[in-house]
Each structure stands twice: as structure tokens, then as C-alpha cells.
Structure 1
Amino acid sequence: RTVSSGGDPMVFIPLKDAQEAQFLKDNDAIVNERARNAANPALNRPGLPGLLEAVTDAQSSNHNVNAVLVQIAPGLDAEAVAEPIRRWKHLTVFTRAQMEEILVAKLIATSARQIGMFLVILAVVSAAIVAFIIYTMTLGKIREIAVLKLIGTRNRTIAGMILQQALGLGLIGFMVGKTAATLWAPIFPKYVLLLPGDALRGFVVVMAICALASLMAIRAALKVDPAAAIGG
């Protein structure tokens, strides 16, 4: 279940197999390349086809290493070990902290900003939908609310009832979404890991959105005139 930052599945294979999969060309690619070389007069000089074949063979059996992972002994300073390699070996060296900074700042941060933008849009749309539903349900119970006020029910109780409706709607929506995500996740090619802490924070956010969305309905209910219960 290991995935990349974009949610794509990852597979771990030996370096030799990875290089073979990367550089080895299939038969169609080799035929097409030879056809292009034959069609280009500049490539038909003596000795050049053999050179191209040698390059192709070198690419097929490329065993060069692109990166080396070095583990230093405990207590050593990573920057102190990296500096001589940069100076005398003419190699690019990144410490663990620098690699994490590159990964987070260049790759994960960009995806996180995009996901965050979508989450904000979804939160605003969800709040508007919940507010509309609760407000509509409240308007449909104007007479009942007026009767409650007529018999002396406090505004706090009426507001609490509307708030419970909104929170109940959010709870049902969260449970349906969590269940669907858990059951349907293996079907999709991209896998998003949802940790228990993330699910808990998502639940809190949903409840907060529903509570805020109920304010408009609560305000409308508190303005109901008790006389509306008598006037019909």
C-alpha cells in the first residue's frame, strides 16, 4: 500500500531490474529507430550505424548509478561529511534535512496547497448546502416554533433543537462518507491514506461547519412571533 505523494501506487525492484526496464527498448522501438536512421542521409556515413548500435547496446546494459545513499556513523555531523565530498569529489550532496526540505517544499507543498484549495471550496459549498437545508426545514416548522414560544419554551431550547438537527445531518453525512471511502478505496487506482487522527479532525471540522450553518435558521426561528400560532 505504499504510494507516492500523488497517490500513485509504488513498487520496489532491484536497481539492475529498474535500469533494464528504463533503458531496454522493445522490438518496435528498435525497428522505428533504424527506419529513422535509414531515412536520414546524415546518419548514413561509414561507421556511424555501428556507433548507433553501440550506443543502443550501452543504453540496454547501463549499470551506472544515479544516486548513492550514505549512512554515517552515530555522532557525526552530516554537513561535515558532505562538505569534503562536494569540494573534492565534485558531486552534489544533500543531507537528510535538505532532502526533506526539497521533498516538502517542492513536491508535497504544491500538492498540499492544491488539496487545501479544494477543501476550502468544498467546505464553503457544504456549509451553504447545510444552511439551506436547515433553513428550509425551519421555515416549514414556523407554526410549531410559534406554539413552543406561546407555551413558554425558552429561546435556548429552540436554538438547541435546530442545532441538533444540523449536527445530526453532519453526523449522517460524515458516517456515509467515511464508510464509502473505506469500502470503495481499494477499487480506485490511487490510494489516499486516511489516518485516525485525520478522520477525527475531519469529523470536528464537519461538526463545526454544520453548527455555523445552523445560525441562519436559528436566527429565523428566534424572530418568530408567538401570535403566529393563533393566527394560523
Structure 2
Amino acid sequence: MNLGFKDIRHNLGRFLMTAAGVAFLVTASVGMIGLYRGIVEDALLIIDRIGADLWVVQGGRSGPFSESSAISSDMDRRVEGIAGVANVRRFVQVSQQFAFGDRQLRASITGLDYPKDRGEWVPLTAGRHLANGHFEAIADPSIGLGLGDRVRLGQDDYTIVGMTRGMVDMGGDGLLFVTVNDAMAIAQRRTSEEVLLARNARGQSVEAASGSSVQQDSKIAATLVTLNPAANEKAVRAAIMVWGDANVLSKADQENLLLNQRLWRLRVQILAFTAVLLIVMAIVISLIIYMLTMEKRHQIAMLKLIGARNSVIIGMIAEQSYLIGAGGLLLGFALSKLLFPFFPRRVVMDTLDLGMLALAMAIICGFASLLGISRALKVRAQEVLS
């Protein structure tokens, strides 16, 4: 006879309510971990997919994702002349808020160095890649635009010729791909008052005083370098670094800057919240198992009176604890699958993370049952007469 199952059937309502409560805690834990994974995936999206071996950014900086970067407009032509370089592309990315109909939309405008880069690395769900040097765009649906829409950016109208999905920046803003020249034109748009003030201040600019090689209005954030298979990466880096106005970062460098510097506090905060949820989960299961054990003192005393071994009683209580944990875990995973696709930010449910959470749940259930087991072993057979 399986005493654990029989007792759960006797208290089915309480078991279901407890499993539901645990399930919501599991869902919250999966959501916290999945949200962090989603933010990391969004942050590394461009770095992973754009296919650059090296990023040439502003000297003394670690841009363009961890901090701002602006390089000279001829940096790509300078890099092209280095032995071992197969291809170079300019990179621009600026956040922009704009009107579309009666709505205010926001996007992260990303420049593709047309015609070298037509956006073939961007996965399309509809439409086509860029086929003209101006006034065409590929959009993520999270922006609020659709295929064929015409939107005013800067001083020009752009037609959405392609649609992608899941292409967002670290902040969750959808990516809007245009050519590099169009992106710079959009970013450099100024009001007439700004132009007038700039003319009045001409001759007194900080740019002239500082002797910087980078124009103050330069919007090119980086030059993307693809190396020949036989190229010496260290030699290419050294050749660029001697210029003094450029810094060179590899793909691994960019990932390290994002994960271990910019996102480090977020990681610690999410892990702390997840730990709190697991502690609350342990307390809830412990209290429920203890209450169920207290209600069964008479039955436990009867079992001891008829000669049942302690292992039978321990197995019953531990089985109830693990059944509550397993029920809450399965229901929590199901709720996560159902709810998280509707969240405004990407929630990534990694198989390894779910496995680690299941292992943590097993440990929690084991410790939670100890409180009930400790109380059950103190019950004496004589209590059946009370």
C-alpha cells in the first residue's frame, strides 16, 4: 500500500492548492532566469550574427555597445590597406523616436554598409533585403511597423521592404535596418535653431581646440573587420593600434565587456531574487508538510502501534514532499510556456537552466521533508489512546 498517495487523495484539495502555489513560485523563478538569458541574448544578437572578426572603435574606448564610440569617416579605408584584411564595413546604431500616423514609435536604427552589406545576415519573415542605397528599411514587428509602410525618418520617407523577428537591442527596442549613409543622415538631422547656433559658434569649437581626428558630428561607431583565413590577428591588431586614434576589440572582447561589466549587476540582482524565491518555496513546502504531519499524528501513532518501521513513515512524508515539488514544477513549467511568449521582453527558457531548477527543487523538497520527519519520529505509539 502506498501511504503517500492515499494520504494525498484524502487531502486532494490542499495538495492541489499547495502545488499551485509552488507552481507560481517556479514560474517566477523561471521568468527571472529567462529574463536575464533573454537580455544577454538580445545584447549579443548583433555581435553573434553580424560576422565580424574585429571591431575597430574609437581610441581609448570600448564601444560601441559598452560605451559610446565615434571614429573618423575614413577609418574603413585605412583598415582596408592592412595585410590580412578581407573585408571592412562601417557600423552605425542610434536610438530614434519618431511619429507614425498618430503614434510615437521607437527603434534602434542600425546601418548596413550597402552595397557590401545588404542585410543577408538578418533573418526575414517577409519581404526582401535592401536593394537600393537609400530610403529602404528592414523592420522588426516590435517597432509597430508592417511590410510596405512608409515612415518619416529625419527629412526623408522610408519604405519597409522586409520584416524580421526577434531582432532587438539590449534595451528591448526593435531594430530598424537602413543603409549606413541613411542612418547617418537620420542621426545628423538638426533643427534650424541648432544650425544657427552652430554657425554662430564656428571658430570657437572644442573640436578645433582639442585637435581631435574625429569630427564632432561623426556618427560612425565602428569599423567591422573580416580577416582572411590565413591572417595573423595579432599582427592586424598591432598595425591598427599604432595609429593612436583607434582601439581594436575581438568578438570575445565585446562579449566579455557586455556580460562581465555592463550586465554584471543585473546578473547578481536576478540571481539574488531567484535565491529569495527558492527560499520562500522551501519555507512553503516545509510548513505544508509539517501541518500535514501534525494532522496525521493519530495515524502515525497507530502505524507505530502495529509495528510499522520508521522507514515506512519517513518514506510517506518524503514522498508527499516530492510529489508536491514535482506537481508544482511541472505546472510551473507549463505556465511558463503559456505565459512568457506574451511578455514584452524576450524570456529564454534554457534546458540547462530548467534542469538546474529541477535539481534545486529536489534538494528543497528533501530539506523541507526533514521538518515533518523530525516531528513524526517523535510521535509515540501511546498517543493513539489520546
Is structure 2 residue 200 aligned with structure 1 residue 48? yes
Q: Which of 259, 262, 265 in structure 2 is aligned with 1:104?
A: 259
Q: Which of 42, 53, 70 in structure 2 is aligned with 1:3?
A: 42
CA distance in 2, matches of 1:221, 1:18: 71
Shift of 1:22: 4.2
Match for residue 327 of structure 2? Answer: 172
8 A contact 1:86–1:92 mirrored in 2: yes
Q: Matches of residues 195-210 of structure 1 in structure 2 within 5 Å?
A: 195-210=350-365
Higher Cα radius of gyration: 1
CA distance in 2, matches of 1:85, 1:98: 16
> What stretches of structure 2 of length at least 5 have no aligned partner?
1-37, 45-169, 204-216
Query: Relative to structure 1, is the Cα distance of residues 211 and 49 closer, same or farther in structure 2, using a 3 angstrom cutoff?
Result: same
Is structure 2 residue 298 aligned with structure 1 residue 143? yes
8 A contact 2:184–2:220 mirrored in 1: no
Indicate the RMSD between aligned Cα atoms, in angstroms: 3.0
8 A contact 2:341–2:347 mirrored in 1: no
> What stretches of structure 1 of length at least 5 have no aligned partner?
52-61
Count of aligned pairs between the two proteins: 208
Query: Relative to structure 1, is the Cα distance of residues 49 and 63 closer, same or farther in structure 2, using a 3 angstrom cutoff?
Result: closer
TM-score, normalised on structure 1?
Answer: 0.77
Match for residue 13 of structure 1? Answer: 177
Deviations 1:12-50 (A, max 9, x none): 51353544554446xxxx4xx74x999xxxx6x9x6399
Q: State the secondary structure of the residue aligned to 2:242.
A: helix
Query: Relative to structure 1, is the Cα distance of residues 140 and 172 closer, same or farther in structure 2, using a 3 angstrom cutoff?
Result: same
Q: Matches of residues 66-145 of structure 1 in structure 2 within 5 Å?
A: 66-88=221-243, 90-145=245-300
8 A contact 2:318–2:369 mirrored in 1: yes
CA distance in 2, matches of 1:142, 1:118: 37
- The structure whose residues are more often strand, as a share, is 2
Q: State the secondary structure of the residue aligned to 2:344.
A: coil
Structure 2: which amino acid aligns with 1:102? Answer: L
8 A contact 1:146–1:228 mirrored in 2: yes
Query: Relative to structure 1, is the Cα distance of residues 224 and 15 closer, same or farther in structure 2, using a 3 angstrom cutoff?
Result: farther
Match for residue 224 of structure 1? Answer: 379
8 A contact 1:131–1:213 mirrored in 2: yes
Q: State the secondary structure of the residue aligned to 1:93.
A: strand
Query: Relative to structure 1, is the Cα distance of residues 190 and 20 closer, same or farther in structure 2, using a 3 angstrom cutoff?
Result: farther
